[in-house]
Amino acid sequence: MLKLNNIEVVYDRTILVLHGVSLEVPKGQIVALLGANGAGKSTTLKAISGVLKPERGEIIAGSIDFNGVRIDHREPAEIVKLGISQVMEGRRVFEHLTAEENLIAGAHTRHDRRQIRQDLELVYGYFPRLAERRHVKAGYLSGGEQQMLAIGRGLMSRPKLMLLDEPSLGLAPLLVEEIFEIVLRLNQEEDVTVLLVEQNAAMALSIAHHGYIMENGRIVLDGPAEVLRNNEDIKEFYLGLSEVGVRKSYRDVKHYRRRKRWLS
Amino acid sequence: MINREAGVFHTSYESDMALYALPLAKITAWGMVALLVLLPLPLSLLQNEHLMSIVNTIALAAIGAIGLNILVGYTGQISIGQGAFMMVGGYTAAILSTRYGMPFWVGILAGGAMSALVGVLFGIPSLRIKGLYLAIATLAAQLIMEWTINHVTWISGGAQSSIYVQNPTVFGWELDNEFRRYYLILVFFLLAYFAAQNLVRSRVGRAFIAIRDRDIAAEIIGVNIFKYKLLAFAVSSFYAGVAGALWTYYLRIANYENFTLVVSIEYLAMIIIGGLGSVLGAVLGAIFIKLFPIALDLTVIGISEGIFGVRYGAVADFLANFQLFVFGALIIVFLIAEPEGLARMWENVKRYFRLWPFSY
Amino acid sequence: MRLRSMHTALLVGLLLVGLAGLSSAFAAEIIIGGTCDRTGPTKLVGTIICPGVLDYVKLVNKKGGVHGNTIRYIEVEHAYKVDRGVEAYERLKREGAVALVDYGTPIVYALTPRHLEDKILGITPGFGRADATDGERFPYIFPAAATYWSQMGAAMQFLKDKGAKKGSKIAYIYYDNPAGREPLPIFERICSLEGYQCRTFAVPPPGVEMASQVLDIVRRFRADWVVSHLFGKSPSISIREFRKNGYRLDHVVSLVWGAGEHDMIAAGWDTAQGYLGMHFAGVGRDFPIVQEIMQMYRDEGQEVPEMVGTVYYNRGILNGALLVEAVRLAIEKYGMPVTGEKVKNGFEQIQNFSLGGFLPPLTFSAKDHEGGGWVRLYQTKGEQLVPYTDWFRGYRDIVWDEIRKAGKTAMK
């Protein structure tokens, strides 16, 4: 469905952030994009949804295909209309609008009121808490509610593909679980394809079909989620486990660090 | 300032914090200063007071613009009262030197101090309001100062609201032409420039920037917002006051009509075009706003008379408005090309050359 | 990067062309200069005054110049900004100008010290301060036309001639800026001298709101006469307000910046009927000098612009005529080459210069740089300004006393 082919992104014409990233998101799947801070995950998402410009970024090589249409160098509004919707990191709800107004604003590119109404109910179905607080200003919602609102707002444009940027940021583990379950349900029931960027690798890999690992602006490893879950390197560096299911104890920490296999 | 910075790596905190990253940078900075000091030589050989006067007005404007940038660009407090603070400095200097016979440097420093005081007073609203609301509050400063100077004859010295002053004398030298006046202005310009460069890298400067970027976060880390906002107003007004006093000695008259609302807005334009939050930007903005209209005027006249053989007088209305149009268009073009101002443009050029010729 | 290098190239290009234009000064002419505001806040006035100067100088050159020497008049735009005014002055100085027409009160203030230092004469008709009349204090500054003090003196003389007596109520409505306040001391002195009942009414800038002041003047104070000193948009608004309150407009005397044609157009000619305006140069086309300029246009096969003969255009002629006359006298008495000092001395010897009734009989001396303080009232009738009085002046003793007082208290 979405295909990135050797994308290179430069900020300010001087800082090369993505050194040729290729990845593929098949229809109907959840794909996780994992990596440490500064690996280039968010930049990849921004390159897809076309919002690099305000940050002085530019795609200088490669191509992005969405259902066979090239979408690099297109305006963000066009990309949304094609069916890609991004839920940005850190929520970014419209604080002075109510929850419901936020959702309706999410349907900005659509004009069929009846359908929008239906979708609103759909979102409330997935996020009952938003239904309760529909007339509260978004600024007064809790962090978890705001994250739900952000995802709900993303849904309102009826996307074929959703780009989720760190939905677990700053949320309690229970809430994170709740949100991930909803993402999974959306994927299964509404047939929304998801590209998920996460720090919480364990969580992400638990719902994803496929995973990509990024480091320093490159994809260093990819594979089906269960394969990655069992990869020794991933366990060591991303899941914080030395043996499956066993939490690492500092008493056992070796004096040398494990070397990432992909660096050799 | 203008040297290449490729391959500069810092190995100690001292070198990282240094004003000049490289010995070469220090040399170029001193070179620039030397250039500025020697600038009148060729001009005086050519007896070109005209060019000197243009440089003088730019340098004067730059001092005011640096001051405004400390307040608006670094601390994030919008002010359209720059003219008012310059006014205070100008009249203070004029009163001190005519009525109390003080030497010019006392007038200039006292002008700055008085203006800082008034600035703090009008900065008090900034503790409760921000952004456009604060802008309107500083607009009130402008109007109140204009009114006061207009109506309190003790300050303005009579119905004309203007006070003539004598030329300053330094060691028996009367500053009675553009070249001599230049040195007076240059000394204060250099002091203003390097003081600001250092201020913004200090504890105080970081507090200013913290307030601008996220005032609540600044408060959380222990920045006393009350103190630092007022300090920003004080420093900025001090600069404005010094600039106003220098204007007074430069024109030999203190007249509030030199510092009207239009002037305040012009200074705001300087720092926006030059680059908010950049000392160099304030200077570049001053050059842009002050030099371009004159350069355009000369160019248009030159083209009209030199190429088309039409005397300016015959088509003056058209040419005068044409320049205005071009100037406006230039501002827009520059802002679109680089919304963050001339200083950022300069940064980009430098950054480009840091990687040159192996850039992306 | 391409865009950026283009910018630099453009800037360098601009400067080079500019400098080239700068150095192309001609030496064989007598150069006089003038500053102007064609794009700033006073462009309505500037775009009419400045062509007046240009046309007059052109006419002089057409007729063979001054004793065979061509005069080159260079105009520089400053948009009513002080720093550009200084630049304009320095540019004209560099071009070799021996005398200048200064435009704009704040610019005149700022340039006065430079004129005195550089010994370049500057005339400031209608601008600048009244105490610059004193040629001993301001040797190189010539107000060259009735100052605000003289205008006030003349206005009060007119009221007296019209029958104002002890106890008459006189209102002074003025724009609240230095120029507006300048005539106050003269007004107050004459009021107490003649025993009038006087009151002043300030209109705060920007002077678009004065309903309450006019109502006060008409209803509460019930003024017999009004002296009005307003600028910009405010004269037309005052005319409308006085008319609305049923006040007789032929009892309103406006000083020189409140009675141009565009003020009448803005107020409406019908509304302005009877309004009295003061002028220091003739108004209209019925003067030999204006006819000559019109002929010059026709000879060139051009249409005569509408502005020829209007209030401000004619003031432009006055500016040009006085400078040329001063240059003529300088050449006659002191010979070529002309310098600023010679022009100043020439200026001080102008006697009864009136251009065939176009101007009052202007006479200058080393002490009097004003020319006598003559004015003339014109009345709005139909769509014209018609003469209402002949050239006259008044209360010269009080005006001169104020000038002397200003000289004494002035901080040198």
Amino acid A135: pLDDT: 92
b vs e for B49-82, b when ≥16 Cβ sit within 10 Å of the residue's Cβ? bbbbbbbbbbbbbbbbbbbbbbbbbbbbbbbbbb
Q: Is residue B25 part of a domain?
A: no
CA-CA distance, C128 to B256, in Å (whole number)?
14
**Residue B4 near chain A (CB below 8 Å):** no
pLDDT at B11 over 80: no
Chain-chain contact of B160 with C129 (C-beta, under 8 angstroms): yes
Q: In sequence order, which residues have a C-beta less than 8 Å from that of residue B252 and are 6 or more positions away?
A: B164, B165, B166, B167, C113, C114
Amino acid C22: pLDDT: 46
Determine the structural domain holding residue B170 and report its residue range: 39-355
CA-CA distance, C132 to C406, in Å (whole number)?
10
Residues of chain B neighbouring C3 (CB-CB closer than 8 A): 337
Q: Report the residue of chain B nearest A10, measured CA to CA.
A: B360
Q: Is the peptide bond before C206 cis (omega within 30 degrees of 0)?
A: yes
16-45 in B: which are within 8 Å (CB) of C? none
Query: Token match 């939050």: residue?
Result: B277
> To the nearest 10°, the Cα dihedral for C139, C143, C149, C150?
110
Residues of chain C neighbouring B44 (CB-CB closer than 8 A): none
> DSSP state, C63?
T
Q: What is the reported pTM?
A: 0.86
Amino acid A21: pLDDT: 92
What percentage of chain A carries pLDDT values higher than 70?
Answer: 91
In the structure, what pLDDT confidence band is assigned to residue B21 with cuts at 50, 70 and 90? low
Strands (E), A14-132: 15-25, 30-35, 57-66, 69-70, 84-87
The mean of the pLDDT values for chain B is: 87
Amino acid A184: pLDDT: 93
The interface predicted TM-score of the complex, written ipTM, equals 0.89
What SS3 class is residue A222? strand
Amino acid at C394: G
Q: Report the residue of chain C nearest B156, measured CA to CA.
A: C178
Q: Report the residue of chain B nearest A13, measured CA to CA.
A: B360
CA C49, C55, C61, C65 torsion-angle sign: negative
- Distance between start and end Cα atoms, chain C: 56
| A31-44: pLDDT as tens digits | 999 988 888 999 99
pLDDT at C267 over 60: yes
Amino acid C315: pLDDT: 92
> DSSP state, A235?
I
| DSSP letters for A131-149 | HHTTTSBGGGS-HHHHHHH
What percentage of chain B carries pLDDT values higher than 90?
Answer: 45
Amino acid at A51: V
Chain B interface, best mutation among C92, C109, C120, C137, by max B CB count within 10 A: C109
| Average pLDDT rounded to a whole number, residues B87-114 | 93
b vs e for A29-42, b when ≥16 Cβ sit within 10 Å of the residue's Cβ? bbbbbbbeeebbbb
CA-CA distance, B157 to B163, in Å (whole number)?
6
Chain-chain contact of B352 with A13 (C-beta, under 8 angstroms): yes
Chain-chain contact of B53 with C129 (C-beta, under 8 angstroms): no
CA-CA distance, C393 to C398, in Å (whole number)?
12
The tokens of C138 are what? 């301001």
Chain-chain contact of B299 with C77 (C-beta, under 8 angstroms): no
pLDDT at C12 over 60: no
Q: Is residue B22 part of a domain?
A: no
pLDDT at C397 over 80: yes
| Average pLDDT rounded to a whole number, residues C231-237 | 89
Lowest mean pLDDT among B106-120, B345-359, C369-383: B345-359
Q: Which helix (H) or strand (E) holds C39?
A: none
How large is the C-alpha radius of gyration of chain B? 21
Amino acid C412: pLDDT: 43
> To the nearest 10°, the Cα dihedral for B207, B213, B218, B224?
50
In the structure, what pLDDT confidence band is assigned to residue C3 with cuts at 50, 70 and 90? very low
Chain-chain contact of B251 with C178 (C-beta, under 8 angstroms): no
Residues of chain B neighbouring A54 (CB-CB closer than 8 A): none
Amino acid B315: pLDDT: 79
Amino acid B13: pLDDT: 73
> To the nearest 10°, the Cα dihedral for B347, B348, B349, B350?
50
Distances (CA, A) of C260 to C135, C145, C230, C283: 29, 17, 12, 10
pLDDT at B279 over 90: yes
| DSSP letters for C230-299 | --TTHHHHHHHHHHHTT--GGGEEE-TTS--HHHHHHH-HHHHTT-EEEESS--SS-SHHHHHHHHHHHH
Q: Which helix (H) or strand (E) holds A9?
A: strand A2-11
Short-list A99, A89, A200, A198, CA closest to A142: A99
Beta bridge partners of A194: A30, A162
Lowest mean pLDDT among A245-259, C174-188, C240-254: A245-259
In the structure, what pLDDT confidence band is assigned to residue B83 with cuts at 50, 70 and 90? very high
Number of domains chain B is built from: 1
Minimal CA separation from C182 to chain B, in Å: 5
pLDDT at C81 over 50: yes
Amino acid C44: pLDDT: 85
Q: Is residue B75 part of a domain?
A: yes
Q: Is residue B10 part of a domain?
A: no
Amino acid B48: pLDDT: 85
Amino acid A72: pLDDT: 87
Residues of chain B neighbouring C114 (CB-CB closer than 8 A): 252
Minimal CA separation from B29 to chain C, in Å: 21
Neighbour tally for A68: CB within 10 Å: 7
Q: Which helix (H) or strand (E) holds A219?
A: strand A218-224
Q: Is residue B28 part of a domain?
A: no
Q: Is residue B227 part of a domain?
A: yes
Lowest mean pLDDT among C19-28, C261-270, C307-316: C19-28
Chain-chain contact of B53 with C54 (C-beta, under 8 angstroms): no
Amino acid A264: pLDDT: 52
> Who wins on pLDDT, A47 or B315?
A47
Q: Which domains does chain C have, with CATH numbers?
A: 27-147+284-377 (3.40.50.2300), 149-281+378-411 (3.40.50.2300)
pLDDT at C1 over 50: no
pLDDT at C124 over 50: yes
Q: In sequence order, which residues have a C-beta less than 8 Å from that of residue C274 and are 6 or more positions away?
A: C248, C249, C250, C379, C380, C381
pLDDT at B164 over 80: yes
Chain B interface, best mutation among A7, A8, A10, A13, by max B CB count within 10 A: A13
pLDDT at B360 over 80: no
Residues of chain A neighbouring B359 (CB-CB closer than 8 A): 13-14
CATH number at residue B143: 1.10.3470
Cβ distance C143 to C125 under 8 Å?
A: yes
CA-CA distance, B317 to C50, in Å (whole number)?
10
Amino acid B7: pLDDT: 64
**Residue B5 near chain A (CB below 8 Å):** no
Residues of chain B neighbouring A14 (CB-CB closer than 8 A): 351-352, 354-355, 359-360
pLDDT at A255 over 50: no
Residue among B164, B255, B320 whose CB faces C38 most closely: B320
> To the nearest 10°, the Cα dihedral for A116, A119, A123, A128?
90
| Average pLDDT rounded to a whole number, residues B70-90 | 93
A7 alpha-carbon distance from chain centroid: 18
| DSSP letters for C136-190 | TTSTTEE--S--HHHHHHHHHHHHHHTT--TT-EEEEEEESSHHHHTTHHHHHHH
| A54-81: pLDDT as tens digits | 888 889 989 999 998 999 888 899 999 8
What percentage of chain C carries pLDDT values higher than 90?
Answer: 34
| Average pLDDT rounded to a whole number, residues B229-243 | 96
Residues of chain C neighbouring B296 (CB-CB closer than 8 A): 14
Q: Is residue B69 part of a domain?
A: yes
Residues of chain C neighbouring B297 (CB-CB closer than 8 A): 18, 76-77
Chain-chain contact of B294 with C86 (C-beta, under 8 angstroms): no
Q: Is residue B5 part of a domain?
A: no
